[in-house]
Amino acid sequence: MFQPIPGTLQYNTLIANIEQGIVKIPQFQRKFVWSIEQTAKLLDSILKGYPIGSFILWETKERLRSIRDIGNIHLPEPPEGYIVQYVLDGQQRMTSLYVSMMGVKITGDDKRTIDYSEIYVDFEASMDEEIVITDISGRNMDELIKFTDLLNGGYKMFAKYPTYGEKLERYSNAFKTYLFSTILIKDAPIDIATEIFTRINVGGKPLSVFEIMVAKTYDSIRNFDLSEKYDALIERLQNSNCNYDTISSSTVLQAVSVCLTKECSKKQILKLNKDDFINIWDHVINALESAVDYFRGFYRIPVSQLLPYDSLLVPFTYFFFHHKDIPLDKKQEYLQDYFWRVVLTSRFSTSLEAKIGQDIRKIDLILSDQHPDYDEPVDITPEYLCNHGWFATGTAYIKGFLCILAYQQPKSFANNALVNISNSWLKQANSKNYHHFFPKAYLAKRNFENWEINHIANITIVDDFLNKRSIRDRAPSKYIADYQKINPDLEATLATHLIGPIEESGITNNDYDKFFNHRLQHFSNELRKRLILQPSDHS
């Protein structure tokens, strides 16, 4: 149990704590978004003694990634040995106070610069009017004082404003003696503190585990910033012709966690020791990149968008963390069997974290050249594939068959060039690069049901040009005959799509039923090559 401690802070103490780095704004807070008018209203409320709500502060020895600069003012790190207070609620108000006192200029995302020194106190305004203002058009400047001058001008301001000396002193003291209400949360662990933050900000987006871990693992001395490390990883996976740049931050965190603890629940990730996390980071990322290379090389999955589950990288990263070389012989067979059992049973579609934890024990067996036992059988019969092959690119099961098609390195019907497969167009099922070999319009006219038409057994991966301008809705016998005239190796080309031979697969006489069943058998045969079938499996 953590008992909140109510308290108060005077204005000068609060500002001093910010300037000394004792009060910090954690990075997971929103950017400062208040307008200068909102800031002026806040100052007006303080001047009049109105309550402005409490600041909720989390006091801890943790050192989190925090906002380093406000405007052009650098916020220092706290003195060595000092306990830090992170703002869980009241960031916009606290930042408003600071920027108005310092009179800073802030440039927003829209490139507009707001000058917070242009906030004024109106000596002529009554208490039922706005005393702190920003619009001074047409006003006599002798009746106004900048807010920064009111606070910081000292006795020389009395000489400058002899008529308003009493108000000047009263208004200045109103700010300097104002007691800001605080609620202190002491020594709570980071998961409790961020849960408090999330509950306070019920209208906002809950913090992700990654956002929390970015804050928790930040270390300026060791130059470790998880957000920057993750961005650098994604940039490498994107710019090295790797095309694995859609890997999620949660997958990376799970990989680190299993390498440290063999578990990857959110609770476990949040409990990870900061130093252990930083120490192991480079080793885990090397293992993850080895897993990516293995997926691209041995499984020939060219892009991350084709991966049935991002999370498959987690157990494979664990494998490469403990096994630095390419797996051969039994390890290779056992890994492939594991990969396809995860895909064909849609294993990671529910209870992901628990199942990865269970599967790490299977990877340990594979590391020791033992074949794991599997409780859930797989079914690779053409009948089962027929009943479960509705084409939807968001399902892991269908992505598995797209991986099989990509493994064949499909070629263009027209010129045998390799079909380009990229993340950019694999995100949607209606992509022009997904081609129904028997066109949808053609089959619809012949009264085939939608599930038969839009089935993985009817899908090929072709280049955009062929799909849009050459094939369209023509009968297969016609467009294939055209390609035979310009591509003498068309039979071999079709084989890269798991189609053919032409005479045996129903293409010549546009027999869709024959083509459909022929291709299901091709898929079944390919799966048989990849699995170590058990007596309980259906094959």
Domain ranges of the chain: 5-200, 220-373, 383-530
- 477-501 as b/e: b if 16+ CB within 10 A: eebbeebeeebeebeebbbbbbbbe
* DSSP symbol at 31: P
Q: List phi, psi (to 5°) of 12.
A: -60, -40
One-letter amino acid of 102: M
**Angle made by CA atoms 493, 496, 501, in degrees to the nearest 5:** 65
Q: List phi, psi (to 5°) of 113.
A: -100, 130
Residue at token pair 């933050």: 197
What whole-number distance in Å separates Cα of residue 158 and Cα of residue 514?
98
What whole-number distance in Å separates Cα of residue 121 and Cα of residue 115?
16
Residue at token pair 């309980």: 536
Chain center to CA of 406 = 26
* DSSP symbol at 382: H
Q: What is the token pair recorded at 144?
A: 């106004």
Q: List phi, psi (to 5°) of 256.
A: -60, -45
Q: List phi, psi (to 5°) of 481.
A: -60, -40
Q: What is the DSSP string of 272-327?
A: S-HHHHHHHHHHHHHHHHHHHHHHHHTS---SGGG-S-GGGHHHHHHHHHH--SPP
* DSSP symbol at 248: -
> CB count, 10 Å around CB of 325?
8
Which of these, 272, 373, 355, 371, lies nearest to 314 by C-alpha position? 355
Long-range contacts at 77-84 (CB < 8 A, ≥ 24 apart)? 77/21, 77/220, 78/20, 78/21, 78/22, 78/24, 79/20, 79/21, 82/20, 82/21, 82/22, 83/22, 83/59, 84/21, 84/22, 84/23, 84/24, 84/59, 84/60
Long-range contacts at 512-521 (CB < 8 A, ≥ 24 apart)? 512/438, 512/443, 512/446, 512/448, 512/452, 515/437, 515/438, 515/458, 515/476, 516/386, 516/452, 516/455, 516/457, 516/458, 517/382, 517/386, 519/457, 519/458, 520/382, 520/385, 520/386, 520/389, 520/457, 521/382
At a CB cut-off of 8 Å and minimum separation 6, what does 273 contact?
A: none
455: β partners: 390
pLDDT truncated to tens, each residue of the chain (539 aa)? 678 899 999 988 888 888 888 888 776 666 777 889 999 999 999 999 999 999 999 888 877 766 655 655 677 777 777 788 888 888 888 888 888 988 888 877 677 888 999 999 999 999 999 999 999 999 999 999 999 999 887 777 888 888 898 999 999 999 989 999 999 998 888 777 777 776 776 555 566 888 888 878 888 788 898 999 999 999 999 876 788 999 999 999 999 999 999 999 998 998 899 899 999 999 999 999 999 999 999 999 999 989 999 999 999 999 999 999 999 999 999 999 999 999 999 999 999 999 999 999 999 999 999 999 999 999 999 999 999 999 998 899 999 999 999 999 999 998 888 888 775 555 544 556 788 999 999 999 999 999 999 999 999 988 765 655 667 778 999 999 999 999 999 999 999 999 989 989 999 999 999 999 999 999 999 999 999 999 999 98
Please compute Rg for the chain using Cα positions: 32
Question: What pLDDT, on a 0 to 100 scale, did the predictor assign at position 29?
Answer: 63
Chain center to CA of 372 = 32
What whole-number distance in Å separates Cα of residue 526 and Cα of residue 495?
13
Question: What pLDDT, on a 0 to 100 scale, did the predictor assign at position 68?
Answer: 58
- 349-386 as b/e: b if 16+ CB within 10 A: eeebbebbbebbebbeebbeeeeeebeeebbbbbebbb
